[in-house]
C-alpha cells in the first residue's frame, strides 16, 4: 500500500506544471454581427489591459480600408470620419469602450477592428496593438420578413392552384353535360311508315275475270 502511495506522489511531482494561458493585451467582441437589417445599430466593445495608452482607432479592413474613428484618451476627444458623422457614439472609459454604429447600410458591411496606441515614455515612440475583427453584415431586408414573404407567396400560389383546378374540373364537367344533352337531342329514332292499301267494298268481292284465249 505504501509503495502505491509513493508511486502516486512521485507521479504528481514529476508532472510538469502547465503555465496559465496569458490573456491577450487587447480584446474585441463580438466576432460577428450577421443578418442585420438596414438602419439598425452595430455595437462593438473594445478593451485593453496595457499601460500608457494614448489613443484608440476604429478601422475598416476588407472592402474599404479606412479610418472610421480616432479617440484621444488624453484629451477625451473623438474625431469621426464624415461618412459616420452623427452615426457613431462612444461610451465607457479607459480602457473599456463600447462603440455604437447606427443607421447601418449595405455599404457598411465590412470587418471592423480596434487599434490601440501605446506610448513608450523612455523613447517617446508609440506602438500599435490590433484586436481581432468584428465582421458586420448588413442585409437589405430582415430574414424574418423574407420568411414571412415566402410563406405568404406559397399560400397565394397554393390558393391559385386550387382555384385553377376547381375551374378546370367545372369546365370539364360542363362540357361533358353539354355533349350528353346534345347527343340525346340529336338522336331520334326513325319513324316506321305503314303503307295501307284501301280496297273499296265493291271491289272486295269482285273476281278477276280473265278473257278466254
Model pTM score: 0.59
Look up cell 273476281; give the residue: 207
**Run of H or E residues at 202:** helix 201-204
Alpha-helical segments (H) within the chain:
2-14, 143-186, 201-204
Distance from the first to the final alpha carbon of the chain = 166
- pLDDT tens for the chain, 213 residues long, are 444 333 434 344 444 444 456 778 999 999 999 977 889 999 999 999 999 999 999 999 999 999 999 999 989 999 999 999 999 999 999 999 999 999 999 999 999 999 999 998 888 899 999 999 999 999 986 556 566 666 767 777 777 787 788 888 888 888 888 777 776 665 555 555 555 555 555 554 555 555 554
CA–CA distance, 32 with 39 (Å, rounded to integer)? 17
Q: Do the beta carbons of residue 60 and residue 164 sit within 8 Å?
A: no
**Run of H or E residues at 161:** helix 143-186
CATH topology of domain 23-140: Immunoglobulin-like (2.60.40)
Q: Do the beta carbons of residue 116 and residue 48 sit within 8 Å?
A: yes
Amino acid at each position: 500500500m505504501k509503495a502505491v502511495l509513493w508511486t502516486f506522489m512521485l507521479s504528481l511531482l514529476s508532472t510538469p506544471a502547465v503555465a496559465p494561458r496569458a490573456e491577450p493585451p487587447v480584446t474585441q467582441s463580438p466576432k460577428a454581427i450577421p443578418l442585420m437589417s438596414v438602419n439598425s445599430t452595430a455595437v462593438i466593445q473594445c478593451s485593453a489591459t496595457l499601460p500608457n495608452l494614448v489613443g484608440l482607432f476604429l478601422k475598416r479592413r476588407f472592402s474599404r480600408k479606412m479610418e472610421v474613428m480616432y479617440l484621444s484618451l488624453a484629451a477625451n476627444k473623438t474625431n469621426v470620419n464624415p461618412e459616420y458623422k452623427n452615426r457613431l457614439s462612444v461610451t465607457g472609459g479607459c480602457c473599456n469602450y463600447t462603440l455604437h454604429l447606427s443607421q447601418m447600410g449595405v455599404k457598411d458591411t465590412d470587418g471592423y477592428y480596434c487599434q490601440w496606441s501605446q506610448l513608450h515614455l523612455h523613447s517617446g515612440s508609440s506602438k500599435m496593438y490590433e484586436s481581432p475583427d468584428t465582421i458586420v453584415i448588413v442585409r437589405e431586408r430582415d430574414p424574418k420578413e423574407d420568411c414571412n414573404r415566402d410563406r405568404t407567396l406559397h399560400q397565394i400560389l397554393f390558393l391559385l392552384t386550387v382555384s385553377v383546378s376547381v375551374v378546370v374540373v367545372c369546365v370539364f364537367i360542363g362540357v361533358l353535360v353539354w355533349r350528353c344533352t346534345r347527343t340525346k337531342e340529336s338522336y331520334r329514332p326513325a319513324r316506321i311508315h305503314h303503307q295501307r292499301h284501301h280496297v273499296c267494298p265493291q271491289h272486295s268481292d269482285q273476281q278477276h275475270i280473265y278473257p278466254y284465249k
